[in-house]
Structure 1
């Protein structure tokens, strides 16, 4: 019997099914993934020789395509970073369950490394020194991923004590009365503050 002209399984299909499993269950197991795809576990290893960690990197690469360019590199480092951060956060906020898995291992997905490389290049040309640049990227990464998790948090993150003299209760009441998404507003405030602080590193 001749081989099919189109492969029965691809890396993208595996990564997409793995992401769906994480969205549903918060975890990833290769036996369950194989069952979902109606293949053997060895078929997954054929495409991802590194097993579970390699599949997670495949997911990282798949998600990176959601927030990749084109970006306007002529708009200045701050405008570029704002757009990069917003796209990155929006993508991860749709899949908060994958964030703990991604942060538990080294980034090796080529698509993701290319995205970080482009950001690093913009920051470097803007005047960020080598000894500061990786820290700047790390701070951005931590903030964005934390905000993505916050997007999946309950609307009321803090319980209202009802104490009329409580500053926290007053803040909770004021926030409830504001239109729009609380997490998105928090993200924009944090991003503006973070970029203002990072601007001090420009030489």
Structure 2
């Protein structure tokens, strides 16, 4: 019997199918993924000897490969940080259910690490000290992942208090009357605050 002209599976096909399962259910198992693809679990292990964790890292790479900047391109550190954070958040916000899985294991995907390395280099080259640099990257990472989760939250995140004097209730009612998406607007406000704060760590 002649061999097929193309392999039945690829790493990208497997990762894409796993991401679709996560989007639908919040998780995936290797037997369930194999059923979805119409193959045996051993076929998946052939491409991913590391199993589930390796597939999650491949998913991370899929998302990081979607326009995450890896070169400053003449931008100063503020412009690059804005572009990096927005691209990162946009990619993850399309798949908020994957964020808890990604944050539960060490980042090892080369594409993703290249993106973080670019950010770290831009900040360091602009004068951020090594002692502050990891904190700066961590703050941005936590904020972006949290905002991506928020993108998948219910429209009504908080139940409005019937108390007319409630500060939160008043804010909720004001937010309903404002145009635009709350999560995106909150992200932009928070990002500006963080970049402004990072300016205290970077001279000039």
Same fold, TM-score > 0.5, yes or no: yes
Choose 62-71 or 178-187, whichever is displaced more. Answer: 62-71
Aligned to 2:32: 32
Aligned to 2:42: 42
1:163-178 superposed matches below 5 A: 163-178=163-178
Aligned to 2:185: 185
Q: How many residues align?
A: 203
Aligned to 2:99: 99
Q: 1:72 deviation in Å?
A: 4.2
Q: Secondary structure at the match of 1:4?
A: coil
Q: 1:168 deviation in Å?
A: 1.2
Aligned to 1:145: 145
Question: Which runs of 5 or more residues in structure 2 are unaligned?
Answer: none
Check if 1:81 corresponds to 2:81.
Answer: yes
Q: Deviations over 1:32-66 (max 9, x none)?
A: 00011111101111101100000000100111111
1:122-141 superposed matches below 5 A: 122-141=122-141
What is the root-mean-square deviation in Å for CA atoms of aligned residues?
A: 1.2
CA contact (8 A) 1:77 1:126 kept: yes
Q: Secondary structure at the match of 2:200?
A: helix
Q: 1:73 deviation in Å?
A: 3.2
Q: Deviations over 1:116-144 (max 9, x none)?
A: 11111111111111111111111100000
CA contact (8 A) 1:73 1:122 kept: no
Q: 1:71 deviation in Å?
A: 5.1
TM-score (norm 1): 0.96
TM-score (norm 2): 0.96
Aligned to 1:198: 198
User: After the TM superposition, which parts of structure 1 deviate over 2 Å for at least 4 consecutive aligned residues?
Assistant: 1-5, 67-73
